[in-house]
Amino acid sequence: MLELAILGFLYDAPLHGYVLRRHIAALTGHVRPVAESTLYPAIKRLEKAGLLVRATEPGAVAAPRHVLSLTEDGGRELRRRLAEPAQREITDENHWFTLLAFLRHLADPAAQAVVLRRRLAFLEEPASFFYEGDRPLAAEELDDPFRRGVLTIARATSRAELAWLRDTLASLDGAGR
């Protein structure tokens, strides 16, 4: 998820770590903050894998900056991760939102549609958080107001997302034809 965000931001323009950090904080920081001690090793990992290169520039304000840019391999890897996400990226909202934030980098509308359809299939599966045996329980069947809240909120999210998915898929299919 973090690596995807790094690759995604660098796809648009070269950035140095400090700015990259603020970009990532804006994107997902209010939900799940990213520590510096997580970001810098992640950058090194990607550099070691040849997905990005760094160019040292004299610091505009303070210490020297390492400006990071994607290599061709990095661009390919980003597109690969966007086109063939692991199942976790589809099901976990945090991962999924990060993926959506960069899905436009997948130039082909048909490839974008494939990804959206995987999310659609996941949302269309009948699944709850609470069960009676194997039967998923509806919000109305629960006494617990907090568990009822979970289901109410999840249902509202699901409804909104399904509507958006169907809309967007229709216009992607239109564009592909």
**Minimum distance, C-beta of residue 10 to DNA, in the bound complex (Å):** 13
Question: Closer to its own copies at the Cβ: 15 or 27?
Answer: 27
Interaction site with its own copies (CB under 8 A): 26-28, 30-33, 88, 91-94, 97, 100-101, 103-104, 112, 125, 127, 129-131, 144-147, 149-150, 152-157, 159-161, 164-165, 168, 171
The residue to which tokens 């999840």 are assigned: 154
Question: Closer to DNA at the Cβ: 78 or 172?
Answer: 78
**Minimum distance, C-beta of residue 102 to DNA, in the bound complex (Å):** 16
Cα–Cα distance for residue pair 6/19, rounded to 1 Å: 11
Among residues 49, 61, 87, 64, the alpha carbon closest in space to that of 16 is found at 64
Find all residues with CB under 8 Å of 76, minimum gap 6, and list them.
none
Beta strand 131-132 with 65-70 is: unpaired
Question: Closer to its own copies at the Cβ: 27 or 78?
Answer: 27
- Within 20-49, the residues that bind DNA by CB under 7 A are 32-38, 40-45
Structure tokens at 149: 């809240």
